[in-house]
Chains A and B, each alone.
Chain A
Amino acid sequence: MRIALTILAFLALASVPLWLRDPYLLNALITTGIFVIGAMSLNLLLGFTGQLSLGHIAFFGIGAYVSALTSLGFDVGLPGDLRLVHAPWPPIAGFVLAILVAGLCGYFVGLLSFRVRGAYFVIVTISFAEVVRLVALNWVELTQGPLALTNIPSIALPLPGFGEMTLRTKMHNYYLVLVVALIAYLLIARLVHSHFGRAMRGLMENETLAVSVGIDVTRTLTIAAVISAAIAGAAGSLYAHYIRIIDPEVFAFINTVTMVIMVISGGKGSLAGPVVGGLIFGLLPVALRPVMAPEAQWIAYGSVLIAILFVLPRGIVPSLAQRFSRRRSNAPALAPVALTETGAKEPA
Chain B
Amino acid sequence: MTARNIAMTIDQVAVRFGGLVAISDMSFTVGEGEIVSLIGPNGAGKTTAFNVMTGFLTPSAGQVTYQGTTLTGLKPHEIADLGLIRTFQRTSVFPNDTVYHNLLIGLHRQGRVRLLDAILGLPGARASERKLRQKAGELIEWVGLERRAHDLAGSLSYGEQRLVGVALALAAEPSMLLLDEPVSGMNASETHRFVELIRSIRDRGITILLVEHDMPMVMTVSDRIVVLNYGRIIAEGTPEVIRNDPAVIEAYLGHGAASA
Residue pair B105, A334 in contact (C-beta under 8 Å): no
Q: Which among A196, A213, A223, A342 is the interface contact of B106 at CB below 8 angstroms?
A: A213
Q: How far is the CA of A214 from the CA of B120 in the complex (A)?
A: 24
Q: How far is the CA of A202 from the CA of B152 in the complex (A)?
A: 14
CB under 8 Å from chain B, chain A span 177-231: 187, 190-191, 194-196, 198-199, 201-202, 205-206, 208-217, 223
With A187-B119, A190-B118, A195-B111: A212-B76 Cβ-Cβ less than 8 Å: yes
**Chain B CB within 8 A of A161 CB:** no
Residue pair A195, B112 in contact (C-beta under 8 Å): yes
Residue pair B86, A212 in contact (C-beta under 8 Å): yes
Residue pair A213, B92 in contact (C-beta under 8 Å): no
Q: Which residues of B contact A342 (CB under 8 A)?
A: 96-98, 152
With A208-B88, A212-B88: A194-B93 Cβ-Cβ less than 8 Å: no
Report the minimal beta-carbon distance from B149 to chain A, rounded to whole angstroms.
8
Segment from B62-70, B166-174, B222-230 that makes contact with A: B166-174
Residue pair B88, A343 in contact (C-beta under 8 Å): no
Residue pair B94, A214 in contact (C-beta under 8 Å): no
Residue pair A198, B108 in contact (C-beta under 8 Å): yes
Residue pair B88, A196 in contact (C-beta under 8 Å): no
**Chain A CB within 8 A of B132 CB:** yes
**Chain A CB within 8 A of B85 CB:** yes
Q: Which residues of A contact B54 (CB under 8 A)?
A: 212
With A187-B119, A195-B112: A214-B95 Cβ-Cβ less than 8 Å: no
Most B CB atoms within 10 A — which of A194, A214, A337? A214
**Chain B CB within 8 A of A336 CB:** yes
**Chain B CB within 8 A of A160 CB:** no
**Chain A CB within 8 A of B243 CB:** no
Closest to B104 in A: A198
Q: Which among A339, A345, A347 is the interface contact of B101 at CB below 8 angstroms?
A: A339
Report the minimal beta-carbon distance from A185 to chain B, rounded to whole angstroms.
13
Q: Which among A187, A208, A336, A347 is the interface contact of B92 at CB below 8 angstroms?
A: A208
Residue pair B171, A213 in contact (C-beta under 8 Å): yes
Report the minimal beta-carbon distance from A309 to chain B, rounded to whole angstroms.
20
Residue pair B88, A202 in contact (C-beta under 8 Å): no
With A187-B119, A195-B118: A336-B100 Cβ-Cβ less than 8 Å: yes
**Chain A CB within 8 A of B253 CB:** no
**Chain A CB within 8 A of B80 CB:** yes
* Interface majority SS (helix, strand, loop, mixed), chain A: helix
Q: How far is the CA of A194 from the CA of B112 in the complex (A)?
A: 10
Segment from B4-12, B34-42, B121-129, B196-204 that makes contact with A: B121-129
Residue pair B105, A214 in contact (C-beta under 8 Å): no
Q: How far is the CA of A339 from the CA of B168 in the complex (A)?
A: 18
Report the minimal beta-carbon distance from A193 to chain B, rounded to whole angstroms.
9
Q: How far is the CA of A22 from the CA of B119 in the complex (A)?
A: 38
Report the minimal beta-carbon distance from B45 to chain A, rounded to whole angstroms.
19
Q: Which among B96, B104, B150, B171 is the interface contact of A345 at CB below 8 angstroms?
A: B96
Q: Which residues of A contact B111 (CB under 8 A)?
A: 195
Residue pair A195, B101 in contact (C-beta under 8 Å): no
With A202-B105, A205-B94, A347-B95: A216-B77 Cβ-Cβ less than 8 Å: yes
Residue pair B81, A214 in contact (C-beta under 8 Å): yes
Q: How far is the CA of A196 from the CA of B242 in the complex (A)?
A: 47
Residue pair B119, A213 in contact (C-beta under 8 Å): no
Q: How far is the CA of A216 from the CA of B86 in the complex (A)?
A: 16
With A209-B168, A334-B150: A198-B105 Cβ-Cβ less than 8 Å: yes
Report the minimal beta-carbon distance from A339 to chain B, rounded to whole angstroms.
6
Chain A residues near B (Cβ < 8 Å): 187, 190-191, 194-196, 198-199, 201-202, 205-206, 208-217, 223, 334, 336-337, 339, 342-343, 345, 347-348
Sample of 6 A–B contacts (CB below 8 Å): A190-B120, A195-B129, A202-B94, A206-B95, A213-B80, A336-B100
